[in-house]
Amino acid sequence: MKWVTWENIGVDRIGCIWLIRRWIDPKAEFLFIPADTKSLPKDGEPFDIPGARYSHHRGHCTFYTLLKENKVKDPVLTHIANIIDEADIAQEVNVEPVAPGLDLICRGIRLTSPDDNIALERGTIVYDALYAQLSTESQ
C-alpha cells in the first residue's frame, strides 16, 4: 500500500513509518508531499495530516492512533507511543524522561539529511535502538 504524509518528517512521522513497516504493512511505500498540498493523492493512505483517519486524535500523536486502530498489542510499542506523545505534543508534565532527547535527535536527523528518505533511514536506526533498549528494560 502507498502511504502519504507531509515532507520534512520529524519524531512522530519517523516513528509512524517505522511502526507501519515493522508491524502494519512491511511492503509499504511512502510518498512525502508539501504541507501546503491542497489535494491528496487518491491512491494512498494519508497519515499525520490533519483530518486524516490516522492523525492526532484525543490528545494523542499519530503513532498512538496507528497502534490502536491496527490493534497492535505490544507493551514496548505502547511505551514508545507515550514517549512520542510527550515529544510531539506539548505537555506540561514530563513523565517520559527520554521524550525531549528523542525529539532533539529526530530534529537533528532531519537537519542533517538531504531528503526525507535519508532521514527515514537514519531515524529507523534510532527507533530500532529505542525498541531494543525498552524491550530489555521490560523483561
pLDDT in tens, the chain (139 residues): 999 999 999 999 999 999 999 999 999 999 999 998 888 888 999 999 999 999 999 889 999 999 999 999 999 999 999 999 999 986 666 789 999 999 999 999 999 999 999 999 999 999 999 999 999 997 6
Strand pairing partners for 4? Answer: 31, 46
DSSP letters spanning 17-86 = HHHIIIII-TT-EEEEE-TT-SS--TTSEEBSSTTSSBS-BTTB-HHHHHHHHTT---HHHHHHHHHHHH
Decide: 22 and 114 in contact? Cβ < 8 Å: no
Q: How far apart are CA 41 and CA 91, in angstroms?
A: 33
